C-alpha cells in the first residue's frame, strides 16, 4: 500500500460509504459502526463543552482584558478555529479512520516523510488528549470543592475547603467513573453523548437567562461591550498584549473537536458524517458560547472582588457571580449552588467524551505498532470496545494530575499541552495537505474545492500565532513562580518524541500499516 492519497472507491449506493473507504485505506472493521451524524457531533460538542471551558477559565478572561477580551476575543478565536475545522473536515472526509491526525500526516507527507510525520503528529495528538482529560476532570474536582465550600457556609462563613489531597482523590474517582462508562458498549456511549449535548445547550440557555435576571445589580451594555480591564497586577501595561492573553479562555474552550475524526470508524457514512460532526460542533459552540459569556458578564459589576481570594469562593469568579446573584435577591445562595451543579454535570460528560476520544486514538496508534505493548492496547472486548485503551488513558491522565501535589505551576504547564499540543497536531496534516500534497490530494465527498489551499494556510498561520502567543510571559517581572512554562512543556514533549524517533522508532516504525486479512 503506497503513501499517496487513494483514488475514490467504487461504491454500491446501498453500501456504507465510510465502511467502504475504511476498507480501501487498508483497515478491517473492528469497532461497531453504530453512530449517526448526531452522535458523532455530540462527542465533539461535549468535549468542546462551552460550560466547561468558559467556566474553568472565566477568571483568566476577567483578569486579562475583562469583558472586551471575552466578548470580542471569543469571536476572533472562533473565526480562525473554523478555518482549522474546515481544513480538518476536508481531510477527514478523504481518510475516515480512528487514527485521524497521525494517519492524515502519514498519507499527506509523502512516502519518505510519512513515518516521521506520523510519529510526531500522533504523539502530540495523544499526549494533548491525555492533557485535555486531565484538565477537564481536575477542573471538575476543583468545582466540586467550591460547591462543598459554598454549601457549608462559604469562605467567610466557616465553610469546608478541601485539601489538595482530597481534590486529587476526587479527580481519581471521577476518572475511574469515566473508565467504567467507557467500558460499556458504543450504543450506551452514544446515548450519553447525545444527552450531554442536549444538557450543554439547555444548561447554557438556563444560565444565560437566569443569572442576569436574578441579579439585583446588573452591568450595562456599555460595560459588557466596551469595558477593558487592564488593572490585573500582572505588570503588563500594553492593552493589545493583555487582549491577546485574554483569548486563552476562548481558544482553550474551542478544542477537542478532533473527537469526530477519532470516532469515524464507529460512525455510519463516516466520510460525510465525520466532517459534519467537526464543523457543526465548532459552529454551534461559537454561537452558544457567546450567549453564555454575555449572560454571565451582564451580572458582573465588581471585577476585583470576583477575583479576590477573600470572597466567598476564594477567587473562583464565575461561582462567585452565581452565588451572590441569588443571595442578594433571595438571601440564600442555594440557587447559585444549583447552577454550579448544572455546570458540574456538563464537565462530567465532557470528561467522559474526552476519555472516549483518547481511547480511540490509543487503539488506532497501537494498531499500527506505535506504542509500547501495542498488542495490549489494540485489543477490543466482546462489545467491540477497546477497553484496555480506555483504562490506559484513565491511568495516564491520573498520573499527569499528580503534578498538582507538588506545584500548581508545574500542573498548569502540563495542562497547557491540552491547547498548544493538540493544535500543533491539528496543524501538521493541514500543512502537509497544502504543501507536499497540494497537487496529489484526492478529496472525499466533503471538500472545499479550490478554496481548500488558502483556507488551509490561514489555519496553519493561526496555529503558529497562538503557539507563540500562549508561550509569552503572562506576568512581569518573570520569576520562577511566574514563568510561563508552556514552551517548556510543549518543547519537552517535542524533545522526548524526537529523541525516541532518532534512537529507536526510526528503525522499526513505518507509519500506518494495513490489517486486512
**Which domains does the chain possess?**
31-439+448-507 (1.20.1740.10)
Q: Answer yes or no: are the C-beta atoms of 287 and 455 closer than 8 Å.
A: no
How wide is the angle at C-alpha 148 spanned by C-alphas 216 and 178, nearest 5°? Answer: 115
CA-derived radius of gyration, the chain? 22
Q: Which of 22-36, 194-208, 313-327 is predicted least confidently? A: 22-36
Phi-psi category of residue 479: left, alpha or beta, with phi > 0 → left and psi -120 to 50 → alpha: beta
C-beta of residue 253 within 8 angstroms of C-beta of residue 16:
no
- pLDDT of 41-82, one tens digit each? 777 878 788 888 899 889 888 988 999 999 999 999 999 999
Whether residue 273 contacts residue 29, with contact meaning beta carbons closer than 8 Å, is answered with no
Q: What mean pLDDT do residues 353-376 have?
A: 84
Q: pLDDT by residue (tens digit) across 184-202?
A: 887 888 888 888 888 988 9
- The model's pLDDT over 254-297, given as tens digits with 9 standing for 90+, comes to 888 887 887 777 777 888 888 998 999 999 999 999 999 999 99
Lowest mean pLDDT among 19-23, 212-216, 273-277, 477-481: 19-23
Please tell me the predicted confidence (pLDDT) of residue 85. Answer: 94
| pLDDT given for residue 12 in this prediction | 42
Count Cβ atoms within 10 A of the Cβ of residue 332 and give its class: 0-12 exposed, 13-18 middle, 19 or more buried: exposed
Beta bridge partners of residue 84, listed in sequence order: none
Which of 53, 133, 128, 142 has the alpha carbon at shortest distance from 489? 128
Identify the band that residue 11 occupies on the pLDDT scale cut at 50, 70 and 90: very low
Helices 270-297 and 37-48, axial angle in degrees (round to 10): 40
The whole-angstrom separation of Cα 475 and Cα 27 is 49
pLDDT surpasses 80 at 408 = no
pLDDT reading at 15 higher than 80: no
Q: How many whole angstroms separate alpha carbon 506 and alpha carbon 349?
A: 38
79-130 pLDDT per residue, tens:
999 999 999 999 988 888 776 788 899 889 988 899 999 999 999 989 888 9
CB 242 within 8 A of CB 232: yes
The reported pLDDT for the residue numbered 231 is: 76
**pLDDT tens-digit series, residues 296-307:** 999 998 889 998
Which of 162-171, 413-422, 430-439 has the weakest average pLDDT? Answer: 413-422
The answer on pLDDT for 221 being more than 70 is: yes
| Cβ contacts of 176 within 8 Å, gap of 6 or more | 394
Q: What is the mean pLDDT of residues 436-450?
A: 89
Place of cell 478544542: 255
Q: Residue 310 and residue 157: Cα distance in Å, rounded?
A: 11
pTM above 0.95, yes or no: no
CA-to-CA distance for 173 and 166, rounded, in angstroms? 11
Query: For cell 470572597, what's the residue?
Result: 311
- Confidence label for 25 from pLDDT (cuts 50, 70 and 90): low
What pLDDT, on a 0 to 100 scale, did the predictor assign at position 512?
A: 77
The three three-digit cell numbers of residue 481, written as one number = 513562580
Contacts of 230 (CB under 8 A, 6+ apart): 65, 236, 237, 239, 242
Q: Can you tell me which residue has the cell 473554523?
A: 82
| Mean pLDDT (the chain, rounded) | 85
Residue 229: pLDDT over 90:
no
For residue 300, give the DSSP letter. -
Query: Is it the case that residue 246 has pLDDT exceeding 90?
Result: no
404 within 8 A of 415, measured Cβ to Cβ: no
Amino acid at each position: 500500500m503506497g503513501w499517496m492519497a487513494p483514488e475514490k472507491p467504487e461504491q454500491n449506493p446501498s453500501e456504507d460509504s465510510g465502511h467502504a473507504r475504511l476498507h480501501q485505506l487498508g483497515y478491517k472493521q473492528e469497532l461497531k459502526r453504530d453512530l449517526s451524524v448526531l452522535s458523532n457531533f455530540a462527542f465533539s460538542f461535549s468535549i468542546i463543552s462551552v460550560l466547561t471551558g468558559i467556566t474553568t477559565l472565566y477568571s483568566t478572561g476577567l483578569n486579562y482584558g475583562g469583558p472586551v477580551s471575552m466578548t470580542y476575543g471569543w469571536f476572533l478565536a472562533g473565526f480562525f478555529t473554523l478555518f482549522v475545522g474546515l481544513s480538518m473536515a476536508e481531510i477527514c472526509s478523504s481518510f475516515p479512520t480512528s487514527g485521524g491526525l497521525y494517519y492524515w500526516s502519514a498519507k499527506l507527507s509523502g512516502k519518505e516523510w510519512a513515518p516521521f510525520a506520523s510519529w510526531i503528529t500522533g504523539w502530540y495528538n495523544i499526549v494533548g488528549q491525555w492533557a485535555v482529560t486531565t484538565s477537564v476532570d481536575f477542573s471538575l474536582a476543583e468545582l466540586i470543592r467550591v460547591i462543598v465550600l459554598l454549601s457549608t457556609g462559604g469562605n467567610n462563613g466557616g465553610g469546608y475547603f478541601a485539601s489538595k489531597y482530597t481534590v486529587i482523590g476526587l479527580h481519581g474517582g471521577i476518572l475511574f467513573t469515566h473508565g467504567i462508562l467507557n467500558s460499556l458498549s458504543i450504543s450506551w456511549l452514544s446515548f450519553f453523548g447525545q444527552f450531554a449535548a442536549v444538557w450543554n445547550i439547555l444548561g447554557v440557555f438556563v444560565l444565560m437567562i437566569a443569572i442576569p435576571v436574578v441579579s439585583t445589580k446588573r452591568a450595562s451594555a456599555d460595560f459588557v461591550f466596551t469595558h477593558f480591564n487592564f488593572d490585573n497586577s500582572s505588570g503588563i501595561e500594553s492593552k493589545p498584549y493583555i487582549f491577546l492573553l485574554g483569548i486563552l479562555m476562548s481558544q482553550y474552550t474551542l478544542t477537542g473537536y478532533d473527537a469526530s475524526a477519532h470516532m469515524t470508524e464507529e460512525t455510519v457514512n463516516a466520510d460525510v458524517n465525520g466532517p459534519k460532526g467537526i464543523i457543526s460542533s465548532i459552529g454551534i459552540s461559537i454561537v452558544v458560547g457567546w450567549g453564555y459569556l454575555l449572560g454571565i458578564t451582564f451580572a458582573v459589576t465588581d471585577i476585583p472582588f470576583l477575583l479576590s481570594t477573600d470572597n466567598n469562593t476564594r477567587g473562583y469568579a464565575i461561582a462567585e457571580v452565581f452565588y451572590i446573584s441569588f443571595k442578594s435577591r433571595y438571601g440564600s445562595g442555594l440557587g447559585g449552588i444549583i447552577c454550579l451543579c448544572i455546570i458540574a454535570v456538563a464537565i462530567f460528560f465532557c470528561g467522559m467524551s474526552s476519555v472516549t476520544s483518547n481511547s480511540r486514538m490509543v487503539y488506532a496508534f497501537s494498531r499500527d505498532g506505535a506504542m509500547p505493548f501495542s498488542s495490549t492496547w489494540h485489543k477490543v472486548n466482546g462489545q467491540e470496545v477497546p477497553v484496555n485503551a480506555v483504562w490506559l488513558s484513565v491511568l495516564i491522565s491520573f498520573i499527569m494530575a499528580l503534578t498538582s501535589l507538588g506545584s500548581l505551576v508545574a500542573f498548569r504547564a502540563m495542562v497547557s499541552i491540552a491547547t498548544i499540543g493538540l493544535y500543533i497536531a491539528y496543524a501538521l496534516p493541514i500543512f502537509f495537505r497544502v504543501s507536499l500534497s497540494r497537487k496529489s490530494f484526492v478529496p472525499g465527498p466533503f471538500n472545499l474545492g479550490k478554496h481548500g489551499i488558502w483556507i488551509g494556510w490561514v489555519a496553519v498561520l493561526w496555529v503558529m500565532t497562538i503557539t507563540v502567543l500562549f508561550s509569552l510571559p503572562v506576568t512581569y517581572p518573570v520569576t520562577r513562580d511566574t514563568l510561563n512554562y508552556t514552551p517548556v512543556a510543549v518543547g519537552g514533549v517535542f524533545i522526548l518524541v524526537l529523541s525516541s524517533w532518532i534512537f529507536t522508532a526510526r528503525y522499526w516504525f513505518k507509519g500506518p500499516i494495513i490489517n486486512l486479512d
